Amino acid sequence: MRLPLYGFVEGDTIGVLIMADDGESVRSLANKLRAAVSLRVRTDEDMDVLYRGMVLDPSFTLSQARFEPLQRFDLRRKNGVSESRNTR
C-alpha cells in the first residue's frame, strides 16, 4: 500500500513528502529522505529514524513499525548537529 509520509531531518529547514510503500524497510525510507534533503544538510552520517518518539529498527518494514499515512517521521543524528559539524 502506498504510504505518503512527512520526513524531517535534524538541521534542515523543511519537512518533505516522501512516497513510501508499507512493505519497504525503515532503512529504505531513511535513504529516500536523505536523498531528498542532501542539498541543504549533510546526511552521510549515522542517523536514527524516529516515529512517534521511538527509535526504529532499520530492518523493520513500515507496516511492522505501524506507520500511518501523512504522519511525521524524523532522522536524527546519533551525535547531534553540532558534533557532526565539528567533525567535517
Partner 1 sequence: MLKREEWLSLARKLDWNFSYTTEEKVFPEGISGSPWLPHSVWKNWEESFKTSYREYVENQHDKDMAVYAVRDAVGRLENVQNLATPWINGLKLHAATLPLAEFTATIGNLRSARFGRDSAWRAMACFGALDEFRHTQIPLLLMHELVRWNAQFDWTHKFYHTNNWVAIAARHFFDELTLGQNAIEFQIATNVVLETGFTNLQFVGLASLAHEAGDYMFEKMVTSIQTDEARHAQIGHPVLALVLKHDPEYAQYLVDKWFWRNWHLFSFITGTSMDYMTSGEQRSASFKEFMEEWIVDQFFRMLDEFGLKKPWYWDIFLDELEVYHHMLYATAYTYRSTFWFDFVLPSPADRRWLREKYPKYWEDLDAIWERIGEHWKSAHSSMDGEIPVQAAALLGFCDLCQLPLSAGSPRNNTANVLARNARNYIFCSEPCRWIFLREPDRYAGHHNLVARVLSGEAPADLKALSTDYFQLTPQTSGKDTYAGRYDWLLT
**Residue 55 binding partner 1, by CB under 8 A:** no
- The one among 22, 28, 41, 50 contacting partner 1 by CB under 8 A: 41
Q: How far is the CB of 44 from partner 1 (least distance, A)?
A: 12
| Cα 81 to Cα 10: distance, rounded to the nearest angstrom | 7
> Looking at beta carbons only, is 22 or 42 nearer to partner 1?
42
Q: How far is the CB of 14 from partner 1 (least distance, A)?
A: 4
Q: DSSP string covering the chain, please?
A: -EEEEEEEETT-S--EEEEEETTSBHHHHHHHHHHHHTTTS---S-EEEEETTEEPPTTSBTTTTT--TT-EEEEEESS-HHHHHHT-
> Looking at beta carbons only, is 16 or 61 nearer to partner 1?
16
**Residue 63 binding partner 1, by CB under 8 A:** no
> Looking at beta carbons only, is 13 or 59 nearer to partner 1?
13
